[in-house]
């Protein structure tokens, strides 16, 4: 392969449970070998790759048999803890056969809440890539429960793709992509514009047999990343040579075209803060109008705040609600909720959220 032919220099590849496991939920070594071989070829051509892999719980099912009386949370924790060892050892062995070193990174949703912790994670990933080491990432299911859980690894890999400023984000699923069900043709949709919404009309309800995710989640995350300037592909991970095909620019799967003006800097962190916020503020009609003006750089001032919900401190992510209580954005607070309540409605005060740390969703 010629490096000039490749579309991206840095990518996140997310592989789903149903791609790398067989019908019994056991790891499919043939598929895993083909996947790691493709990654090795791309890395040798200068592409930096972060692999986000599901499959720990599935691998755990092949190791331990648990009583039905065990709670669902405990069952998931035991399967994840035992299966993750098998999963990462399999990747490590296969990458070593290709002359590559891999590294394991396990994260929880709360790891993305704190800005400094977020930057520390980014430094870790950057250092591994600079040393030509393949980061293999998974959610730390052994300790992630309820509100600490990602929707699935699509959400986790989307956060990493945003954090690492990648050019391409590839979701390898067990289906070929998104299909046109609305018009009854059933044809594969090859490209989706960043302005497209309402993906549920193209999706058959249901989730993966062994995984937590579904196509609607994938589309929502793909759409958000395309809005932030990342090109996203949803393709069939069992298709021979699929990664090589996608990076050569060959037509395969569904491609979410990237918005031409990417979101950069701290706004990327803020943009993926849904579910991570510590509190909220409700703004008045004037503030909502000003904040929604895409032609001007505006910060959120206390004079535009009508009320405060919850408790937050300086540095926390908070949600911004409009007069109809719908979310209009997210931002990092420059001071806490107590001071905000004291200052709200007042003019000539320091912004609660500076423009550089403000992301408006519409």
State the Cα–Cα distance between residues 263 and 275, nearest whole angstrom.
20
Task: Give the Cα-Cα-Cα angle 276, 277, 279 (nearest 5 degrees).
Answer: 155
Q: How many residues does the chain have?
A: 362
Q: Which residues are annotated as a binding site?
A: 14, 54, 141, 153
CA distance 230 to 221: 11
- CB-based contact 304:290 (threshold 8 Å): yes
Neighbours of 148 (CB within 10 A): 13
| 3-state DSSP assignment of residue 260 | coil
Give the CA dihedral 56, 62, 66, 72, nearest 10 degrees: 30
Separation between Cα atoms, residue 291 and residue 289, nearest integer Å = 6
Which residues are annotated as part of the binding site for ATP?
Answer: 14
Q: Which positions make up the binding site for substrate?
A: 54, 141, 153
- What is the DSSP pairing of strand 48-53 with strand 133-139? parallel
């Amino acid at each position: 392969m010629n490096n000039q032919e490749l579309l991206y220099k840095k990518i996140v590849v997310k592989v789903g449970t149903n791609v790398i496991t067989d019908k019994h939920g056991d790891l499919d070594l043939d598929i895993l070998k083909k996947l790691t071989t493709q990654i090795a070829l791309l890395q040798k051509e200068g592409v930096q790759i972060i692999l986000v892999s599901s499959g720990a719980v599935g691998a755990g099912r092949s190791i331990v048999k648990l009583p039905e009386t065990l709670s669902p949370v405990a069952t998931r924790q035991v399967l994840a803890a035992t299966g993750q060892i098998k999963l990462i050892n399999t990747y490590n062995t296969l990458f070593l056969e290709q002359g590559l070193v891999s590294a394991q990174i396990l994260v929880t949703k709360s790891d993305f809440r704190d800005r400094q912790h977020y930057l520390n994670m980014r430094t870790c990933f950057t250092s591994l890539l600079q040393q030509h080491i393949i980061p293999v990432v998974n959610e730390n299911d052994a300790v992630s429960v309820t509100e600490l859980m990602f929707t699935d690894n699509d959400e986790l890999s989307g956060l990493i793709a945003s954090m690492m400023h990648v050019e391409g984000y590839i979701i390898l699923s067990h289906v070929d992509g998104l299909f046109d069900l609305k018009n009854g043709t059933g044809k594969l949709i090859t490209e989706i514009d960043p302005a497209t919404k309402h993906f549920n009309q193209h999706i058959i309800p249901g989730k993966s047999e062994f995984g937590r995710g579904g196509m609607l989640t994938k589309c929502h995350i793909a759409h958000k990343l395309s809005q932030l300037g990342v090109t996203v592909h949803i393709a069939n991970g069992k298709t021979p040579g699929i990664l090589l095909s996608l990076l050569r620019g060959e037509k395969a799967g569904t491609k979410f075209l990237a918005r031409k003006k990417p979101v950069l800097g701290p706004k990327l962190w803020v943009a993926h803060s849904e579910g991570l916020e510590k509190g909220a503020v409700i703004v008045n009609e004037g503030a909502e109008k000003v904040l929604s003006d895409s032609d001007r750089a505006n910060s959120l001032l206390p004079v535009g705040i009508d009320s405060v919900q919850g408790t937050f401190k300086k540095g926390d992510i908070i949600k911004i609600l409009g007069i109809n209580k719908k979310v209009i954005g997210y931002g990092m607070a420059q001071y806490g909720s107590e001071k905000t309540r004291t200052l709200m409605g007042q003019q000539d005060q320091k912004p609660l959220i500076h423009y550089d740390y403000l992301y408006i969703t519409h």
